[in-house]
Structure 1
Amino acid sequence: MEFVLPFILVLFASFFQGTFGLGMKHIAPLKWEAWWLLHSFVAMIFVPMVWASIVVPDLFDVIAQTDNAALSSAMLYGFLWGIGGILFGVSVEYTGISITYGIVMGLAASMGCVIPLIQIDGAMNQPAFPIILIGVTLLLVGVAITAIAGVQRDKKQTDVDQTGKSIKVGILIAVASGVLSAFLNVGFSNAAPVADIAINQFGAGPRDASLAAWVVVLIGAFAMNGGYALFLLVKNNSWSSYRVSNSGKAYKWAILAGVFWFAALGVYGQGAALMGSLGPVIGWPILLGLALVISNIWAYRGGEWQNAQKPFKILLAGLIVLIIAICILGYANY
Structure 2
Amino acid sequence: MNALLGVFFHFIGGFASGSFYIPFKKVKGWNWESFWIVGGLFSWLIVPPIAAYLTIPGFMDIIKGTASSGLLITYIFGVLWGIGGLTYGLGVRYLGVSLGSSVILGLCMVFGAIIPAIYYDFNPVIGKDTFSGMISNSWG
- Cα distance in 2 for residues equivalent to 1:21 and 1:37: 14
Q: Does 1:69 align with 2:69?
A: yes
Partner of 1:42: 42
Instruction: Call closer, same or farther: CA 1:10–1:76 in 2, change over 3 Å.
Output: farther
Corresponding position: 1:95 with 2:95: yes
* The structure with more radius of gyration: 2
Distance in 2 between residues matched to 1:35 and 1:74, nearest whole Å: 25
Matching residue of 2:59:
59
1:64-86 Cα deviation digits (max 9, x unpaired)? 11111111111111101111122
5+ residue gaps, structure 2: 129-140
Return the offset for 1:61: 1.9
Q: Is the 8 A contact 2:92 2:100 kept in 1?
A: yes
Q: CA–CA distance in 2 between the matches of 1:20 and 1:99? A: 26
Change (3 A) 1:72 1:86: same
Closer, same or farther in 2 for the Cα pair 1:51/1:67, shift >3 Å?
Answer: same
- One-letter amino acid of the counterpart of residue 52, structure 2: A
Count of residues in correspondence between the two structures: 116
CA 1:106 to 1:55, structure 2 compared with 1: closer, same or farther past 3 Å? farther
Local SS of the residue matching 2:30: coil
Structure 2: how far apart are the matches of 1:21 and 1:109?
Answer: 27
Deviations 1:218-276 (A, max 9, x none): xxxxxxxxxxxxxxxxxxxxxxxxxxxxxxxxxxxxxxxxxxxxxxxxxxxxxxxxxxx
Between 1 and 2, higher relative CO (CA 8 Å, sep ≥ 6) is seen in 1
> Per the alignment, do residues 101 and 67 of structure 1 end up closer, same or farther by CA in structure 2, a change over 3 Å counting?
same
Q: Secondary structure of 2:78's match?
A: helix
- Return 5+ residue gaps in structure 1 as ranges: 125-334
Over residues 136-169 of structure 1, what are the superposed CA-to-partner deviations in whole Å (9 max), with x where a residue is unaligned? Answer: xxxxxxxxxxxxxxxxxxxxxxxxxxxxxxxxxx
Question: TM-score normalized by structure 2?
Answer: 0.58
2: CA distance between counterparts of 1:83 and 1:35?
16
The alignment's C-alpha RMSD in Å is 4.2
| Code of the aligned partner of 2:29 | P
Query: For residues 42 and 96 of structure 2, what CA distance do their matches in structure 1 show?
Result: 28
Give the direction of change, closer, same or farther, for the CA distance of 1:80–1:11 in structure 2 (3 Å limit): farther
Change (3 A) 1:105 1:23: farther
Q: Trace 1:95-134 onto structure 2 (pairs within 5 A).
A: 95-108=95-108, 111=112, 124=128
Match of 2:133 in 1: none
